[in-house]
Amino acid sequence: MNYSKFKIALLLSVVVIITTTLTSCNKDWLKPKPLSIYSPENTLVDVAGFNAALAACNRNLRTEWYGDGAPIITEQLFSEILVDGTDDKTGPAQNLDLQIKPDANLNSADFNRIGWYWNQEYVGIRMANTIISRLPAATAISDANKNILLGKAYFYRAYDYYRLTNQFGDVPCPTKEVTSAKVDFTTVKREVILAQMKADLDFAVKYVPMTSDKGDVNRGAIFHLLTKINLALGLFDDAIASATAVINAGPYKLMTNRFGVDAGIVTKNVTWDLHRPDNKAAATNTETLFLVTDRLGTASAFVSSMLDGGTGGTPGMRIMRQAAPGVSIGTTIFTPAGRAGMTASGGVEIDIMNIYGRGIGRARNTSYEYWEIWDDPNDLRHDSTSGNWLYPENLRYNNPALKGVDTAYGLRLRLRDPKQGNKLLCDDTLRRWYPWPHYKVFVPDTENAPMQGGHSDWYVFRLAETYLLRAEAYLWKGDAASAAADINAVRTRAKCAPYTAAQVDFNSLLNERARELYWEEPRKTELTRMAYLFAKTGKSYNGKTYTLANFSTSNFMVDRILEKNIFYKTNFVTVHADQFRISQYHVLWPIPQGAILANPDGRINQNIGYSGSEANTPASDKIID
């Protein structure tokens, strides 16, 4: 990016910060904002200005993975793979029946970020709509460049609507720039919205180049998103065709050989290489379809902080803090002699905190994620000898007060002491004792001591998922052999034995997604999308069938969570006496009450199961701007 483009991008960043801050007020969720000298008519006049606006769309999308209590955690809380392990709260963070209400705090790092998704995705839509609406009047831009810019703007808008319709269901669907106060939005049917997004992306793939700078939109990313939307619409042949366009065309290939930084470390493997921060945007990485970038000391890091509600500091990923167990929180892990075994301080002799980070156990893996899905002992993604996965037993008692006093000092942690009748040596196994995928969450951090997880680019779309999306489309069509071939492309890269067609079903597909895409995929979004398809197609899961008419009272997503997530399945009670609960209506999130109240001249429906849904009216079967 040259200096003039950088200035424009930075100015647009300031605009995004201002509009996002204002949008945090529920009454302002879709109102237009005055943009002073940086208003669209002053910036959206040439290719540089539109590219800067597209970069701002990217920054808006980026913040899902960054900062303390990153929103992506909320996506995973509504799934089989993890739960909220922070059990010292004064409120029922784990009890979704009590926590998830339209008028509750729906944008809190301590509880959930549902409201963040509602606000931020509509910010992204508003930004894309501004680009789309302003392009025709940009006479200084050639038609060829306009088509490219329009295709990229369509991508960002479709991305946000794909997420919204699989998080909240039927939602308002503005597709044009809003230039005056508007309080008459109408709920539009999910299928109508997705059909429009498909049409937009069908246009975009004709014009957007197959390759681009890392972090920019390319045709491969558009085909990948189009595959998801085709699946969401039940257009399985179209999904196969759009996925095939990525897999068989262009420069994209699965990474099967060592590459990039750390490639010379013989104890590591290609799985480790794929997830090193410096390797994600590397030119040699042919698996990257679309990513977001965050580099220490850059304007993007500054903007990421501001969009996350910060003051311009650089929060980075914070992923080590979120995902690693809280082994050093208080005096909760003891030696067999009963002494506090761990310290949270860095710089001590056994400096665990500055190697693995000081975890707080917020994103607590379930036994489904860390144990049940791993069906091949050779799987590189679950290999502990290389350090890809870590266990509390890999850590050592490091409290300096133990030295010379307790023989456990420097020895590996243990959960029980067999010499004392298997006495439990950890008083909170929910938050403080579980394995975790070190290869995914290890992001070196030079700003915090102990490390919390520093700056890193992050995958949004990766070719491995394209294979798994095509496999899903084949499964819906009943072609298990083709589905197995695609799943095996991902499995064999990880040194797993291939599946036979008889071994492949929706359960094995979702298990493979959980193995490959931890902290990358929006798991709730994908489970809800599949829940709609089970209801639409009438296909059975575990012998049970579903209908759209009863979607919020009986659905695949919540049934699978109750089947696989032991905490929700057993209504586990935390040490703070809070109970894990999830209900069928959580397949869709509540529409924030503030958005409904701020729309007096229209009707924004509330989802079934939440207060206010009794006043719903039929959703529109067409988009009305």
Domain ranges, ordered by start, for the chain: 1-212+519-625, 319-441
Q: The tokens 């929706």 sit on which residue? A: 506
Coil, helix or strand at residue 172:
strand
For 192, the token pair is 């109508």
For 17, the token pair is 């910060």
Q: Is 250 left (phi over 0), alpha (psi -120 to 50) or beta?
A: left
pLDDT at 300: 56
- Alpha-carbon gap, residue 102 to 521, rounded angstroms: 25
461 and 289 Cβ atoms separated by less than 8 Å: yes
252 and 233 Cβ atoms separated by less than 8 Å: no
Apex 81 CA angle, 122 and 436, nearest 5:
115
Instruction: Compute CA distances 110 → 234, 448, 457, whole Å.
Output: 36, 21, 25
Core vs surface per residue 184-217: b (16+ CB within 10 A) or e: ebbbbbbbbbbbbbbebbbebbebbebebebbbb
pLDDT at 14: 36
Helix crossing, 523-537 with 556-564: angle to 10°? 120
Bridge partners for 50 per DSSP: none
Q: How far is CA 10 from the centre of its chain?
A: 25
For the purposes of burial, counting CB atoms within 10 Å of the CB of 543, is it exposed (0-12), middle (13-18) or buried (19 or more)? exposed
**pLDDT per residue as tens digits for the range 60-87:** 999 999 988 899 999 999 999 999 999 8
pLDDT at 38: 52
Residues 6+ apart with CB under 8 A from 452: 316, 318, 320, 321, 357, 358, 445
Q: What are phi and psi of 356, to 5 degrees?
A: -110, -5
For 134, the token pair is 């302003």
Instruction: Compute CA distances 449 → 5, 357, 442, whole Å.
Output: 35, 8, 14
pLDDT at 449: 82
pLDDT at 581: 95
Coil, helix or strand at residue 417:
strand
pLDDT at 311: 46
Positions in the chain short of pLDDT 50? 1-37, 307-309, 311-312
Instruction: Compute CA distances 469 → 155, 219, 235, 508, 512, whole Å.
Output: 18, 17, 12, 13, 11
| Euclidean distance between the first and the last CA atom of the chain, given in angstroms as a whole number | 35
- The 8-class DSSP code of residue 446 comes to S
Instruction: Compute CA distances 362 → 76, 241, 323, 370, whole Å.
Output: 11, 39, 6, 15
For the purposes of burial, counting CB atoms within 10 Å of the CB of 601, is it exposed (0-12), middle (13-18) or buried (19 or more)? exposed
Dihedral sign computed on CA atoms, order 277, 283, 288, 291: positive
Core vs surface per residue 455-491: b (16+ CB within 10 A) or e: bbbbbbbbbbbbbbbbbbbbbbeebbebbbbbbbbbb
Bridge partners for 110 per DSSP: none
For 261, the token pair is 């930084």
For 225, the token pair is 């998103």
CATH architecture of 1-212+519-625: Alpha Horseshoe (1.25)
pLDDT at 470: 99
Bridge partners for 573 per DSSP: 579
pLDDT at 372: 98
Dihedral sign computed on CA atoms, order 592, 165, 465, 471: positive
Question: Residue type at 401?
Answer: A
pLDDT at 217: 98
